[in-house]
Amino acid sequence: MSKSGRNRHKGNGSGGKNGAGSQVPGSVSLSTFRVGRALDALTPAFVQWFDDGSPGAAALALGCLKQVENVLGRYMDSTAAAEVTGFEPVPLAAAISDEVVALSDAPADGMTDLENAGFIVGAFHVYVDFLAETGQWSGSAEQLAGVVDFLDLIADDDDEPGVIDVPYIPEEEALKALSELPLIRRATALLRWIGDGRPVTATGALRLRDIEAAAACVGVAVKGGAKQTSAPLPGTAVSSEPVPTVRSMYEVPLLAQMWNALEAAELIQIKSTKAVPFPDSAAFLTGSDSERLDEFSLFALCFLREAVLGFDPEQPWERILAGIQTSILIAATTADPPSMERVLAAPHHAPAAEKSMTELLTSMAVGRLEGLSELGLLTIDTHFRVPAALIGCVADVFDDDRLLAELGLEEDPDDSDDDKFLRWGGPETAVPETAVPLTAVTAAPQVGAPVLQLKITLNDSRPPIWRRVLVPAGMPLPQLHQVIQSLFGWFDYHLHEFRTGGFRGPAYAPLNDEGEFYGDASLDESSVTVGDLLPAVGSTLTYTYDFGDNWVHSIKLEKVLTSDDDGGQLPRCTAGRGAAPAEDSGGTRGWANIVQAVNDPGHEDNREYREWLGMVPGEILDPRAFDIDELNENLADLF
């Protein structure tokens, strides 16, 4: 079984009796007791193998082992076997069946019979993968193949039918199709460039001096540097446009998506100072035909997930864009694929007040799909079509009821059994619904609405670093967060919060599903606007970004305007001073030390920091530099 199977089954155990199993206290058999003792010896290695660093992974690993213990107890009762590292397929199938029946008869803890069965099969499949991958399988190769085939068959039978019908493609044909994809060729080039490893920053990103070479691997021409240029980002390395300078690999979307997909597919792992290949990543480059097919398929689906679904959940328009792309991709796998004409006609079916926004979103979605087409994941002419060899990848990523419900394409399966899947560009096309009205994302006030003049100062900065900006009074705090990120050149890598009334005043932050801010009690920042927290001239607010470097920004309301008389864009920077510090530079003191070091050739850290900032020979870092035009261009792009 491939790594994709291991990753997939990890998700199956999020509930499933919480790993408690089905045995009644006091009724544990001698076989189950012996199995438990034997599994105890394997537990440390299994947990280490299983734990990918995600929250709760270690606890989930123990839950899986508890379920394995119950199944193997039944298996040993019926076979008198003594090993927990090798088993016969037929009696194992009977043991799993008995365990499923026992769980269906016991209290379900809110889980359905299907979900419980899926947890049992998923837990045992992960355990078998562990034995096989770590060389601890003690049975024969034929027994292992039989067990894996049986578990795969049950897992497939347990899956509910989806929207997409995945065709059978012979292995040789599928491998040839995937090998020729530009996506796979560029991923191969990037993986070969990484080689034995490449240094990374504290946030896991490539260093500035390596961005140019890495971007070239994926077909994009850029340079890494401390100051971003205003030149448009070309699509390929052969573009005739000027080569822009970027301050982070995340300003090169394709490179960032490729990088994240390599990590998700377990082809590279990001350590504290270096990105290195996984021990078994060589299969992607030099493995057998079946191994390479598995690796290529896994990477393709990881890239699709990253490119389409890797959006910021705080941005409602990004969710809409993901919904449009998902709808088109699913329809593009069918015998009646959507036509370009019908997709582009979607705005004509939108309500009058949303036509312009729908037209913009449709255009953006089509542009992103064209990016997938350049990588071979989609063909676009008069219609959108997914190549046959990639339909399975599209199904694995997008053909999920809960995902479609989250994107507004289906009713929540827990609330309704009706199939209300919307195909974008169909006869009754509608904009996918979101929790936030489209008009809320523009941050543009109505005529005569209040406009606030704010002065935002970075505390303890020497020389002072501040920005004066005009924003609508009705701007929600999540959008003010984006404005501040843009004004000060932050990359939004870290946590943030707003606070009123000093250190002990109420805090506003993005909350998790439990209504908490990473364990701390906070108020939901999306529930209030700038005008709510700054009700009168002289009112103040603090914004803290990166609780390690602790960048504290003081926000003061200087003026309340009745309207933006000159008709300029909002938000808009009207004045400022000081160059924005570099991300992860150690706070205001750390940044001051870096400025001193890079401008002093005799400083012991001069070379290191100049390389880190991507500075060219002879370049001076001016801490007082301020480019208002560049800031307003960035704000215009933001909204």
Domains of the chain, with CATH numbers? 3-158 (no CATH), 188-307 (no CATH), 311-438 (no CATH), 451-579+622-638 (3.10.290.30)
pLDDT of 101: 78
283-297, 460-474, 554-568: which has the minimum mean pLDDT? 554-568
pLDDT digits (tens, 9 = 90+) for 56-77: 677 788 888 888 888 888 888 8
255 pLDDT more than 90: yes
- pLDDT class for 563, splitting at 50, 70, 90? low
pLDDT digits (tens, 9 = 90+) for 137-180: 998 888 888 888 777 776 654 444 567 888 888 889 999 999 99
pLDDT of 420: 34
Q: What is the mean pLDDT of the segment spanning 554-580? A: 83
CA dist., res. 332 & res. 591, Å (int): 50
320 pLDDT more than 90: no
Q: What is the mean pLDDT of the segment spanning 286-294? A: 89
Highest mean pLDDT out of 47-51, 207-211, 511-515, 518-522 = 207-211
Highest mean pLDDT out of 516-525, 545-554, 612-621 = 545-554
- β partners of residue 532: none
CA dist., res. 301 & res. 159, Å (int): 18
31 pLDDT more than 80: no
Tokens 């068959």 -> residue: 153
Run of H or E including 453: strand 451-458
Sign of the torsion angle spanned by Cα atoms 530, 533, 539, 543 = negative
- The phi, psi pair for 517, rounded to 5°, reads -110, 85
A 10 A CB-CB count for 83 gives 12
pLDDT mean across residues, the chain: 80
- pLDDT class for 429, splitting at 50, 70, 90? very low
CA dist., res. 128 & res. 397, Å (int): 24
pLDDT of 351: 82
What percent of the chain is modeled with pLDDT above 90?
Answer: 30
Instruction: Give, as one character, the DSSP assignment of residue 439.
Output: G
Residue 92, both tokens: 């194992």
pLDDT of 259: 94
Neighbouring residues of 475: CB distance < 8 A, sequence distance ≥ 6? 443, 483, 529, 530, 531, 571
pLDDT of 413: 47
- pLDDT class for 201, splitting at 50, 70, 90? confident
Q: Decide the pairing of beta strands 245-246 and 523-524.
A: unpaired
Highest mean pLDDT out of 119-133, 353-367, 541-555 = 541-555
**Top-confidence residue, 7 or 154:** 154
592 pLDDT more than 70: yes
Q: What is the mean pLDDT of the segment spanning 39-51? A: 86
441 pLDDT more than 60: no
**Top-confidence residue, 30 or 633:** 633
- pLDDT class for 194, splitting at 50, 70, 90? very high
First CA to last CA distance, the chain? 46
- The distance from CA 357 to its chain's CA centroid, rounded to whole angstroms, is 25
pLDDT of 372: 96
A 10 A CB-CB count for 632 gives 19
Q: What is the mean pLDDT of the segment spanning 413-422? A: 39
Helix 289-309 vs helix 253-264: crossing angle, to nearest 10: 130
- pLDDT class for 258, splitting at 50, 70, 90? very high
525 pLDDT more than 50: yes
Whole-number CA gyration radius for the chain? 28
pLDDT of 354: 79
CB 329 within 8 A of CB 378: yes
**Top-confidence residue, 52 or 208:** 208
What percent of the chain is modeled with pLDDT above 70?
Answer: 79
Torsion of CA 8, 11, 15, 20, to 10 degrees: 60
527 pLDDT more than 70: yes
Q: What is the mean pLDDT of the segment spanning 474-491? A: 93
299 pLDDT more than 90: yes
